[in-house]
């Protein structure tokens, strides 16, 4: 199987990948249908609550306060988890986290693990690291299973196989299930219930056999050391309770101080993500309990660029994210470009502000992500923790074109502007001069007016990006400025 | 009442008719309109592309150009949003970079006096019936900055509903971005064009003779897309509809 994170290396810039996606009619149809359906359902679920705006503000405030005192709450969490019989590990980056988890699995003597859907383990490429160590990781979330069997990459936070339709899923099951375990039943159709049943039967033997489960978590409650997984299918519950050993890899920003704080998010997360009032399964566990559930529990706290992100006052808002995916579902750019174009496990608006911070703006795709938005603001409107995504995007655009001070690996460094913006910068500087000298601007306008008859209908070179699909405006005979001067000249 | 017209660079160079319409409309409503010639661009294209430092002189210029006025009216939702939302951010960042409070103070002076045209009509003048006549079916596209940043709400529709002869047709998917987004239209041309094509299809489906917005930059993209598709729907700025009367009809 090809690596989910490995394939992100050398990803093309967003506009290039998006251009291909836009041409894919099937993909656009699948995405349009899926995002519009969930978009409307979410709007209804949210409209039911008359205190939605207050919940949203509370979610924002809880996260902001926690992030400001993250060191304190993480230590409190570690103490509580340890006191409850768990073991806490700290991982500075993906490599360290993978080494810790691989070592823990190897110590159990097992060669396979079952996995709960988790963004953090995808972010670090855990499945590939385990495979390199001879351990097979089985995804148990239905959509993750489809992605894994299809040797594919996830394209949505909540529904990683959103880019696939029923017929495609049936084909993947028929062709691939056999090589991963129990084969798909003969004559499998593409009815959703039939597909779900095939997955259930395929997964069941893995649940019953597994001795090690690996998960992430939606929340970690510092005051008691409790981890929380919110899900719809119940597969997560199986992985969290049946194995003897449970290893959870969780980003450090997932901590909330108290159960009272958690209450806010248990109201906003299900409505924002699946448009449910309450999700069907909420699993919570605190360390280990004798004769119930896993006997060994390890918590791996993952940094991987988060502390660096925290150092930036505007950028750190991305760390409030509770991964509901509402911003993806309303995003007109995501709807047309699809998740893969974002070159990361975090697609859509949140990916566009998170990846260039967690990974830096050094690569072509990361430097292009802050521009993968028309700044329409639909994401900010729906975000349950009120992240002003357009503001963070513009802030990161500044970093791309102007460079400046950022924090990388805990050090303050000055980065150079990203490549490929030299021409643009020259234009912006020239514009700054012209716009600050209205006399010169007016002369330019007059020149454009005088030459209007010979203006082309389509532009050559970079201008084609506009004129291939849009007619050019005609330059009027007279600018407003000149009209005013001519008709009301004496005035100011 | 005396107000300054902030025409914006796009309207100045490409859509002088919109500016002329604003002047005609406001004067008809008894407002004295002036055009301070020191004005320039609000800086939105530069700022939104990441060139904040290139925007700073334009914040200072805006402040100086409109220093003598209590009201600055602009026929552009996105330029009004630029002043209101982003000028204070530019000021705060300059202060944080140790360059003093001057920009923040300039921003603080600019924000409360700047009105998008429909805000000025409805909130300051308190009118929704401006005595206009426009005998065509019109559909209204609420631009993103007008809708989500300024929160124009029902103001534009309230004004349109009282235009004599005008039939206001609902636009399906009205709240969806048209795909312009400033430099986004060229940097991500494929996605922008796909969004524009969907918007154009929705507009055509209404059967309206004209599509109207409070922003000519979005209209440049929507109109350009419609024209390239060979559509007969005309892009018209809201100000031009409100300025039209039976005596001086829209030409
Ligand atoms: S940024 Fe906001 S809307 Fe998007 S996934 Fe995160 S919490 Fe949800």
> Are B98 and B190 in the same domain?
no
Q: Last residue of some domain: B125, B159, B179?
A: B125
The pLDDT of B82-88, averaged and rounded, is 97
B38 pLDDT more than 90: yes
Query: Residue A462 has what pLDDT?
Result: 67
The answer to whether residue B132 sits within a structural domain is: no
Please indicate whether, in this complex, the C-beta atoms of A435 and B14 are within 8 angstroms of each other: no
| B148 falls within a domain | yes
Q: Is B7 in the same domain as B105?
A: yes
CA separation (Å) from A341 to A10, A21, A125, A349, B56? 12, 8, 18, 12, 34
Q: Is A480 on the interface with B (CB under 8 A)?
A: yes
Determine which residue's CA is closest to atom 6 belonging to ligand 1: A321
Q: Is residue B98 part of a domain?
A: yes
User: Would residue B130 count as lying in a domain?
Assistant: no
Q: Is residue B74 predicted with pLDDT exceeding 60?
A: yes
Domain identity same for B98 and B148? no
Judgement on whether residues B224 and B158 belong to the same structural domain of the protein: yes
Each residue of B143-163: pLDDT tens digit? Answer: 999 999 999 999 999 999 999
Q: Does B177 touch chain A (CB under 8 A)?
A: yes
The length of chain B in residues reads 251
pLDDT at A3: 34
Domain limits, chain A: 1-48+316-436, 53-58+65-302, 438-488
Contact A394, B47 (CB under 8 A): yes
Fold of A53-58+65-302: Rossmann fold (3.40.50)
Q: Which helix (H) or strand (E) holds A307?
A: helix A306-310
Give pLDDT, residue A425.
Answer: 80
B148/B120 same-domain check: no
Domain boundary among B94, B125, B156: B125
Which of B14, B52, B225 minimises the CB distance to A473? B14
pLDDT value, residue A490 = 59
pLDDT of the residue at A5: 39
- What pLDDT, on the 0 to 100 scale, is given for residue A492? 52
Q: Is residue B251 part of a domain?
A: no
Q: pLDDT at position B188, please?
A: 94
CATH classification at residue B219: 3.40.50
pTM of the model: 0.94
Distance between CA atoms of A245 and A143, rounded to whole angstroms?
A: 24
Instruction: Specify the 3-state DSSP secondary structure of B203.
Output: helix
Domain assignment of residue B249, yes or no: no
Residues B6 and B117 in one domain: yes
Mean residue pLDDT across chain B: 96
Instruction: Report if residue B118 sits inside a domain.
Output: yes
Closest residue in A to B20 (Cα–Cα): A480
Asked if the structure places residue B195 within a domain, the reply is yes
* Residue % of chain A over a pLDDT of 90: 78
For residue B61, what are the domain limits?
Answer: 2-125
Q: Beta-carbon neighbour count of residue A9 at 10 Å?
A: 10
Residues of chain A with pLDDT under 50: 1-7
User: pLDDT confidence of B181, banded at 50, 70, 90?
Assistant: very high
- CA A350 to centroid of ligand 1, rounded, Å: 6
Same domain, B162 and B188: yes
For residues B118 and B164, membership in a common domain is answered with: no
What tens digit of pLDDT does each residue of B234-246 get? 999 999 999 999 9
Kindly provide the ipTM of the predicted complex, given to two decimals.
Answer: 0.96
Q: Are A470 and B196 an interchain contact pair (Cβ–Cβ within 8 Å)?
A: yes
Tens digit of pLDDT for each residue in B122-133? 999 999 999 999
Select from B15, B48, B197 the Cβ nearest to the Cβ of A375: B48
Residues B202 and B99 in one domain: no
More confident residue, A470 or B195: B195
Q: What are phi and psi of A362, to 5 degrees?
A: -70, -35
* A78-108 pLDDT tens trace: 999 999 999 999 999 999 999 999 999 999 9
- Of all residues in chain B, what percent are helix, strand and coil, respectively (each to 5)? 55, 10, 35
């Amino acid at each position: 199987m090809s690596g989910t994170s490995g394939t992100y290396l050398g990803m093309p810039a967003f506009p290039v990948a998006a251009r291909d996606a836009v041409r894919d009619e099937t993909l656009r149809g699948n995405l349009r249908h899926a995002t519009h359906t969930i978009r409307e359902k979410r709007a209804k679920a949210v409209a039911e609550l008359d205190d939605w705006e207050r919940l949203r503000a509370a979610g924002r405030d809880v996260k902001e306060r926690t992030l400001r005192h993250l060191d304190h709450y993480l230590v409190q969490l570690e103490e509580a988890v340890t006191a409850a019989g768990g073991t806490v590990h700290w991982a500075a980056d993906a490599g360290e986290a993978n080494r810790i988890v691989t070592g823990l699995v190897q110590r159990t003597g097992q060669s396979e693990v079952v996995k709960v859907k988790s963004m953090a383990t995808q972010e670090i490429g855990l499945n590939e690291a385990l495979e390199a160590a001879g351990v097979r990781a089985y995804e148990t979330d239905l959509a993750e299973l489809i992605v894994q069997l299809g040797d594919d990459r996830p394209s949505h936070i909540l529904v990683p196989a959103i880019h696939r339709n029923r017929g495609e899923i049936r084909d993947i099951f028929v062709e691939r299930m056999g090589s991963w375990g129990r084969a798909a039943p003969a004559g499998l159709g593409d009815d959703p219930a039939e597909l779900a049943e095939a997955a259930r039967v395929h997964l069941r033997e893995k649940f019953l056999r597994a001795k090690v489960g690996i998960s992430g978590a939606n929340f970690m409650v510092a005051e008691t050391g409790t981890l929380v997984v919110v899900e719809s299918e119940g597969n997560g519950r199986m992985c969290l309770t049946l194995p003897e050993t449970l290893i959870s890899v969780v980003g450090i920003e997932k901590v909330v101080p108290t159960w009272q704080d958690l209450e806010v998010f248990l109201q906003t997360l299900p409505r924002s993500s699946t448009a449910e009032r309450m999700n069907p399964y909420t699993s919570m566990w605190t360390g280990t309990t004798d004769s119930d559930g896993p006997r060994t529990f390890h918590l791996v706290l993952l940094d991987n660029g988060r502390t660096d992100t925290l150092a930036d006052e505007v950028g750190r808002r991305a760390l409030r994210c509770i991964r509901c995916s509402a911003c993806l579902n309303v995003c007109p750019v995501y709807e047309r470009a699809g998740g893969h174009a974002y070159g990361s496990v975090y697609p859509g608006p949140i990916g566009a502000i998170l990846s260039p911070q967690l990974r830096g703006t050094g690569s072509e795709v990361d430097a292009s992500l802050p521009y993968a938005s028309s700044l329409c603001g639909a994401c900010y409107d729906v975000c349950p923790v009120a992240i002003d995504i357009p503001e963070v995007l513009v802030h990161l655009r500044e970093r791309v074109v102007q460079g400046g001070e950022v924090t990388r690996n805990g050090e303050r460094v000055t980065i150079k502007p990203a490549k490929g913006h030299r021409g643009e910068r020259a234009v912006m500087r020239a514009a700054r001069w012209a716009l600050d000298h209205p006399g010169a601007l007016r002369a330019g306008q007059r020149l454009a007016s005088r030459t209007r008859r010979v203006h082309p209908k389509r532009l050559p070179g970079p201008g084609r990006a506009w004129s291939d699909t849009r007619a050019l405006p005609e330059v009027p005979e007279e600018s407003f400025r000149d009209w005013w001067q001519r008709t009301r000249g004496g005035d100011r | 009442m005396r107000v300054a017209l902030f025409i914006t660079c796009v309207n100045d160079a490409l859509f002088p008719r919109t500016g002329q319409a604003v002047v005609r409309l406001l004067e008809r409503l008894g407002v004295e309109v002036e055009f301070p010639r020191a004005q320039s661009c609000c800086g939105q294209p530069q700022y939104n592309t990441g060139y904040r430092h290139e925007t700073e002189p334009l914040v200072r210029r805006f402040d100086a150009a409109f220093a003598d006025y209590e009201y600055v009216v602009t026929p552009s939702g996105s330029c009004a949003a630029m002043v209101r939302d982003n000028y204070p951010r530019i000021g705060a960042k300059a202060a944080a970079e140790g360059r003093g409070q001057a920009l923040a103070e300039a921003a603080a002076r600019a924000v409360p006096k700047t009105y998008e045209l429909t805000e000025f009509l409805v909130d300051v003048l308190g009118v929704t019936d401006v005595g206009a006549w426009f005998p065509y079916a019109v559909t209204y596209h609420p631009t993103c900055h007008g809708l989500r940043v300024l929160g124009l709400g029902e103001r534009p529709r309230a004004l349109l509903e009282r235009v004599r002869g005008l039939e206001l047709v609902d636009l399906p998917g009205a709240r969806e971005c048209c795909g312009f987004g400033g430099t986004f239209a060229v940097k991500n041309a494929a996605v922008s064009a796909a969004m524009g094509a969907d918007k154009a299809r929705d507009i055509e489906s209404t059967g309206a003779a004209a599509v109207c917005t409070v922003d000519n930059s979005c209209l440049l993209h929507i109109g350009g897309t419609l024209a390239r598709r060979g559509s007969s729907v005309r892009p018209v700025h809201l100000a031009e509809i409100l300025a039209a009367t039976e005596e001086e009809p829209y030409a």
